């Protein structure tokens, strides 16, 4: 079995080979269902790792470098993700929460601060995820480009006489140009939007630190708590869907297989 980080299409344009699909170490959906039943032999740990790095931004930046995505944009989204956590934890502070910190007299004050603001951390994590998801969707066109090639691959597989002629190649090239043209506009919108949101976050966080000077340590702890919550959710998600994926292959359940690919 061939291994590769990323592959768009294996069958050449003249349909001259019955190529075995690549067994990717970094993406989950390099097989369709029928291929997965035959060729999928990756371990549970490998599947867990693939799902984890696809959902955890830091690991994704370290281990995965897809050719159809701009790494500077991915890095900008990663920075925005952390900025979101810090700013939203400050934004969602309520006067009652701050008052509770001042009046608590127990010996476990720092632990109390984390527990007392768990709702804040959880809320900021959800809102931060929504922001990041929106910006990622705004700057991502990989699926559209992949689909152009996947559709041709399916036609090549179904009909041995099918050829990708020059007319089809020109059509694909023109569609890719349209996708890239649209992507450029979306990236401009992304840069402007992210700059404005980050500017607001910076202003609010600076004002918050000036007004509530004695809560800065607990604010940092809440930010760390948000990241831990997010990481815990990602780990749990990865563990569960890795198991579902392996079970879908073992018991040849197409519904579970498609659900896993859709959610991951």
pLDDT (tens digit, 9 = 90+) per residue, 26-35? 888 778 888 8
Full-model pTM: 0.74
According to the model, what pLDDT value does residue 240 have? 94
Please write the tens of the pLDDT for every residue from 33-44: 888 888 888 899
Domain membership of residue 133 (yes or no) is yes
According to the model, what pLDDT value does residue 13 have? 63
According to the model, what pLDDT value does residue 262 have? 83
Query: Residue 212 carries which DSSP code?
Result: -
Which stretches of the chain drop beneath a pLDDT of 70?
Answer: 1-21, 93-121
Domain membership of residue 63 (yes or no) is no
Domain membership of residue 42 (yes or no) is no
According to the model, what pLDDT value does residue 46 have? 92
Query: How would DSSP label each residue in 230-256?
Result: HHHHHHHHHHHHHHHHHHHHHTT-HHH
Domain membership of residue 61 (yes or no) is no
Domain count, the chain: 1
According to the model, what pLDDT value does residue 93 have? 67
According to the model, what pLDDT value does residue 157 have? 77
Domain membership of residue 57 (yes or no) is no
Instruction: Name the token pair of 242.
Output: 């890795």
State which residues form the domain around 124: 70-235
Give the span between the Cα atoms of 256 and 259, in whole angstroms. Answer: 5
Domain membership of residue 219 (yes or no) is yes
Domain membership of residue 23 (yes or no) is no
Domain membership of residue 182 (yes or no) is yes
According to the model, what pLDDT value does residue 52 have? 92
């Amino acid at each position: 079995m061939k291994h590769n980080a990323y592959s768009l299409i294996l069958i050449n344009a003249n349909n001259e080979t019955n190529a075995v699909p690549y067994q990717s170490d970094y993406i989950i959906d390099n097989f369709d269902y029928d291929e997965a039943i035959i060729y999928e032999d990756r371990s549970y740990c490998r599947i867990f790792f693939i799902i984890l790095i696809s959902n955890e931004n830091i690991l994704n930046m370290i281990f995965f470098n897809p050719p159809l995505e701009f790494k500077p944009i991915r890095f900008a989204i990663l920075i925005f993700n952390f900025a979101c956590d810090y700013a939203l934890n400050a934004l969602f502070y309520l006067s009652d929460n701050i008052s509770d910190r001042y009046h608590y007299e127990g010996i476990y004050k720092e632990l109390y601060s984390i527990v007392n603001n768990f709702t804040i951390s959880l809320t900021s994590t959800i809102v931060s995820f929504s922001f990041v998801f929106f910006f990622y969707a705004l700057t991502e066109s990989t699926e559209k480009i992949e689909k152009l090639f996947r559709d041709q691959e399916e036609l090549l597989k179904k009909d041995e006489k099918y050829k990708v002629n020059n007319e089809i190649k020109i059509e694909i090239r023109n569609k890719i140009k349209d996708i890239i043209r649209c992507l450029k506009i979306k990236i401009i919108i992304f840069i402007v939007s992210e700059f404005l949101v980050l500017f607001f976050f910076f202003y609010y966080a600076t004002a918050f630190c000036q007004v509530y000077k004695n809560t800065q340590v607990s604010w940092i702890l809440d930010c760390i708590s948000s990241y831990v919550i997010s990481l815990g959710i990602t780990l749990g998600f990865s563990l569960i869907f890795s198991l579902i994926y392996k079970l879908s292959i073992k018991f040849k359940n197409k519904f579970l297989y498609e659900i896993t690919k859709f959610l991951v």
